[in-house]
Homo-oligomer: A and B are copies of this chain.
Amino acid sequence: MGARASHYQNLTDLPQGKSRDIYIELQKAILSHSLLPGVKLSEDEVGELFGASRTIVRTALQALAHSQLVTIEKNRGAFIAQPSVKEAQEVFEARELIEPRVAGMAAKIITPKDIEILQNHIKAEHDAIAAGDKGEALSLSGFFHVIIADIAEHDVFSKIVRSLISRSSLIIALYWKRLDTTCESHSHHALLDAFAENDVQAAEKIMKSHIVDLHSGLDLKSRSQSKQSLATILNK
């Protein structure tokens, strides 16, 4: 649990403070699909919810915009980003190039403790699925990839991977067609086996096919959409 929270935190380079808190909270809501693409984030409303002035809120929203989780339209405001079909393709193409390499690097230097963390993470995924908490399960399965990037101890790749995975979450919200998410867990298990044996090549290969598989789970013709009030969504 503590591990998960820290992964959220490390996603921004904002200095500590209220802006950072707001960034993290909003991000959490976006990655768990509580906030869906297209939803407007009004400065007053967000400020009201978090007890912060607009100055602070704007800092957080601009940071989210830099992370491409939010789009800011001049004189119109901030909205949860809606990645285009082309962007969706590109994000997964990038993941197909970068993440196998990262997985290979992780396999090289992974420790038993790291493996335990990943095992616990997979368990948490299973629990979320069992509990029917789809948003949480999805969020966790994304963070699985982030943990691997952290294990690889390569800050540059790690940051890129985090960004790509965040954007993947939005892409999945818009274009995911498969209803069975359980198939993913299989890949994660297989990856763990490769890690346990420090098998670099196997890790690369499994990660590659895993991402190709995720990519193929997208329906890049239709997109889904819905609108809700921000206050309702954040339970505040």
Q: Which residues of A contact B (CB under 8 A)?
A: 13, 15-17, 59, 62-63, 65-66, 68, 72-74, 86-87, 90-91, 93-94, 97-98, 101, 154-157, 160, 164
Contacts and interface: CB of A to CB of B under 8 A. Distances in A.
A207 to B, nearest CB: 14
A155 to B, nearest CB: 6
Given A72-B15, A74-B15, A154 B62 contact: no
A97 B94 CA distance: 11
B97 A13 contact: no
5 contacts: A13-B65, A13-B66, A15-B73, A62-B63, A98-B98
Given A62-B63, A66-B63, A156 B16 contact: no
B87 A155 contact: yes
A86 B155 contact: yes
Nearest to A159: B68
Given A59-B62, A62-B62, A62-B63, A97 B87 contact: no
Contacts of A160: 94, 160
Contacts of A156: 87, 90-91, 93-94, 164
A226 B116 CA distance: 41
A178 B98 CA distance: 30
A94 B157 contact: yes
A89 to B, nearest CB: 9
Contacts of A86: 155
Contacts of A13: 65-66, 68
A87 B156 CA distance: 7
Nearest to A62: B62
Contacts of A91: 156
A101 B90 contact: no
Contacts of A155: 86-87, 90
A114 to B, nearest CB: 19
Nearest to A158: B90
A217 to B, nearest CB: 19
